[in-house]
Structure 1
Amino acid sequence: MTVTRRRVLQGMGAGLALAGSRSWASTELNLGSKRLQTLSDGHLSLPGEFIFGPMDKPDLIPVLADFGMTSSDQLTPDINVTLMQDGDKIVLFDVGSGPDFQSGAGQLVDALDAVGVAPEDVTHVLFTHCHPDHLWGVLDDFDDPLFSEAQHLMGQGEWDYWFDPETVHTIASNRTSQAVGARRRMEIIKEQITLFGDGEEVLPGVAARASFGHSPGHMSFEVRDGNNSVMVLGDAVNNHHISFARPGWETGADQDRETAAKTRMALLDQISHEKMKLIGYHLPEGGIGFAENSGEGYRFVPASG
């Protein structure tokens, strides 16, 4: 298994022009016949309370200081969409935000274009969960499926939760728009969906791993070639600071905070013990790296460093 840091993709042409140039680092990992790259969908802009709200501030501040974070008011996490190419299969793990979520996001189509992949080339889309920055990019500007030739795959529990018309009435009020937006998109792609359960091999060498808590049916994916593997985490570990340094702390980003913390601790324990590579959707420097045990918690070590 080899990891390389690719050049920074930057430009004003080839679909990269907006109000100025865009740039991102495309990091790749080769795992047997499988080539995995992370492509940027841009970044989110979040109030710090979205993550840090449930945490005790006197305990939080010194941990953030260890990461050079002098303020907990605003966060701008990266959005890393994983592209896997394996023979005739071109696979996306999640699809980014699309144009209707946040202005700093929705850049996936340009990123795909920069590496020579058109939406109609994609053969499979695997969803970790249905939050906006993972699902909403599934439609084009005309509300048609963007990845028109792809089979779409999602965990049964995640589909059942967001497709249930009662979810909009039972979800926390600050997430109502997420429920409405998710179901609208799921209605449009439902003929393309294949559902799966925990532990199933959804594609050759790609197994689903239940990682519930961040969302009710969140799935991560273990991509394996012989004794080598990488865990595509989605949002099961959703930042490089608190999620690693204090994985047992409950975070406001998770729908079921207690379950998410248990999931996070179990995943990081496995990944660090087995010296697995990981890919995080909101981790820096392309999101590919590994978890190093630091005693009280873990450290994210980017593979591109």
Structure 2
Amino acid sequence: MIQLRRRVLLGTAAAALAAPALVTATARAAAPMRNELPPAWHRFKVGSYELTVISDGSLPLGKPEPAFPASPPEEIRNLLTSNFLDPASATLEQNVLVLNTGRQLILFDTGMGESMGAASKMFGPTTGRLLANMKAAGIDPAQIDMVILTHAHCDHCWALVDANGNRNFPNAQVALSETDLRFWTDDANKKGPDFMVPFIDGAKKNLSAYRDRMVMVQDGKEVTPGVTAYATPGHTLGHMVYFISDGNNTVVNTGDLAHHQILLLKKPLWEFSFDTDPKLSAQSRLKMLTRLATDKHPVLSYHFPWPGLGHVGKAGEGFDWYPAPVNVTNL
């Protein structure tokens, strides 16, 4: 009897060991690779306001040294590697913001778009996804009441129109500083770096389509109820950041105040190659980052890692970036 039981137990154990092999044999078909990206949007609240961050896609800079020409290359590499980032390739995000105040639907910046054909892909094929991601987020471009621009660079205003020059936001006003409007639509400024020619041609094409519906933004003044502009000149001479407030609740849309969450926060006085006035830009950056660290307002940064939400804290001669947790139940 004992031997019989032993044989039964051994047989049961052998069957259990064999079972995984049978399962493995039926699961050998390779799953296809899925290379497409999912729609990228993130929704959150500021007081009673509803805000949606929408991705226009990543913007690869390539080797970081040319973007920071006055900075020691070894220090650039050390900062990146010590933060587990690739020292040979810097990538920025494009975090576009849509604000629903309950009275207005406001878009801040537009991403790269496709209005300038091949020039729209000067940073590669990963940009220009705003309109598709807006649709995925349930936002109709025709519902946008106002497009507020932090500045008139390609990755912020080139999706105002499509390749044929038709308005992508047919019912919207466009708000920006008069300084940027004048500078980036003036052919006399087509000098200096090679990118100045397409940047000005692109701004002219996109802004001229809204010439009868422009709103000039002024430093320290409300653009529209709940949105106040503050001048941070240097990246462009008319660059603005926007404080979005409902009651005691505020989030600050900083645009291109700082392009990189490590390099330009740890070293706020470093110069960036796409700045119109690099030294002025550095001073504006230091001043506003100091204010943000003091006030402790949440921040949306256009080029920081998706979705660009977090806080700035003082850290020695520079600042640290504290990304906000993303609650996936909001998606």
Q: 1:267 to 1:29 in 2, by over 3 A?
A: farther
Provide the residue aligned with 2:101 in structure 1.
86
Give the counterpart of 2:77 among 61, 64, 67.
61
The runs of 5 or more residues in structure 2 that have no matched partner are 1-33, 327-331
1:74 shift after superposition: 2.3
Q: Does the alignment pair 1:97 with 2:97?
A: no
Give the counterpart of 1:196 among 217, 233, 242.
217
Provide the residue aligned with 2:239 in structure 1.
218
Give the counterpart of 1:257 among 278, 281, 293.
278
Q: Counting strand residues as a fraction of each chain, which structure ranks higher? A: 1
Contact 1:156 1:217 in 2 (8 A): yes
**CA deviation profile, 1:96-143 (whole Å, cap 9, x unmatched):** 110241221000011110111111011110001111110101102431
Q: Does the alignment pair 1:107 with 2:129?
A: yes
Q: 1:50 to 1:58 in 2, by over 3 A?
A: closer
Give the secondary-structure state (helix, strand or coil) at the position aligned to 1:160: helix
Sequence identity (%): 28
Give the secondary-structure state (helix, strand or coil) at the position aligned to 1:195: strand
CA distance in 2 between partners of 1:171 and 1:33 (Å): 46
1:27 shift after superposition: 2.9
Provide the residue aligned with 2:65 in structure 1.
49
1:35 shift after superposition: 1.3
1:25 shift after superposition: 4.5
**CA deviation profile, 1:14-34 (whole Å, cap 9, x unmatched):** xxxxx9532255333311221
Q: 1:199 to 1:192 in 2, by over 3 A?
A: same
CA distance in 1 between partners of 2:275 and 2:187 (Å): 21
CA distance in 2 between partners of 1:222 and 1:126 (Å): 12
1:176 shift after superposition: 1.9
Give the secondary-structure state (helix, strand or coil) at the position aligned to 1:243: helix
| AA partner of residue 76 (structure 1) | T
Which segment is superposed worse, 119-128 or 293-302? 293-302
CA distance in 1 between partners of 2:56 and 2:142 (Å): 18
Provide the residue aligned with 1:244 in structure 2.
265
1:44 shift after superposition: 1.0
RMSD of the alignment, in Å? 1.7
Provide the residue aligned with 1:35 in structure 2.
50
Q: 1:196 to 1:92 in 2, by over 3 A?
A: same
The runs of 5 or more residues in structure 1 that have no matched partner are 1-18
| AA partner of residue 51 (structure 2) | L
CA distance in 2 between partners of 1:62 and 1:239 (Å): 15
Equivalenced residue count is 285
CA distance in 1 between partners of 2:38 and 2:196 (Å): 31
- Report the TM-score when normalising by structure 1: 0.88
Q: Does the alignment pair 1:288 with 2:309?
A: yes
Give the secondary-structure state (helix, strand or coil) at the position aligned to 1:81: strand
Provide the residue aligned with 2:193 in structure 1.
172
Provide the residue aligned with 1:76 in structure 2.
91
Q: Does the alignment pair 1:137 with 2:159?
A: yes
1:264 shift after superposition: 0.8
CA distance in 2 between partners of 1:95 and 1:53 (Å): 28
Greater CA radius of gyration, 1 or 2? 2
